[in-house]
Amino acid sequence: MFVGEVEIDADGNIRLPRPVPMADASPMPSENPSAPINKLYWHVDCRSGRNTQSEMGIALRRWLGDLEAWSQAQGLTESDWSGWQRLIDASLGDEAFDLSGQIHLQHGVLPWLWLMALKHAAFPGVSMGIATESGRDVSAELKAETEVLALFDTDVEAIRPLAESLGLLKPRLDLALAMADQTDHWF
């Protein structure tokens, strides 16, 4: 396979050859890196032992309870996303499993946060992937995913209490409140 050419002088120094003009100087069309996102793709591959799978199932149900409580407090309608039950059912079994699906805009932000909690928990033997339509891997760092949050018309501060309960964000410490009970002995 031809990769390129270099020039080697008498002392063994390597240099790139003089630039040669290309026949077609028009730039290659590039993909728009900030193309709008319309849905997310997810994949869970669980090859863990029974104990880990059981722990994962317990965590999934606990997180689902947190999501339902937050959703009711916000007056949101229940999501019709089918992934909830599929993943919980698979986690109850004794067999390894491999599941995948999509999260559409109409499903809302809650299914994505639920899967983010699973990804962030990083159970041994459980591989969790979430990707955008352009194939960009969604990280487990909620604050870095402003593009995905924008898809669901929200931001970190709007979902902070829920994200904290799911373990996606560390609780914010209010120093004024924390120091209010302590007596000040500066003078």
Euclidean distance between CA atoms 47 and 91, whole angstroms = 11
| Residue 32 pLDDT > 50 | no
Residue 104's nearest CA partner among 179, 60, 41 is: 41
The domain ranges of the chain are 39-165
pLDDT in tens, 144-175: 999 999 999 999 999 999 999 999 999 887 67
Q: Coil, strand, or helix at residue 99? A: strand
Neighbouring CB atoms inside 10 A of 182's CB total 7
- pTM for the model stands at 0.74
pLDDT in tens, 82-127: 999 999 999 998 899 999 999 999 999 999 999 999 999 999 999 9
Euclidean distance between CA atoms 39 and 154, whole angstroms = 15
Residue 105's nearest CA partner among 40, 35, 159 is: 40
Q: Return the ∠ at Cα 103 (arms to 153 and 141), rounded to 5°.
A: 65
CA 169 to chain centre: 13
Specify the DSSP class assigned to residue 137: B
What is the C-alpha R_g of the chain? 25
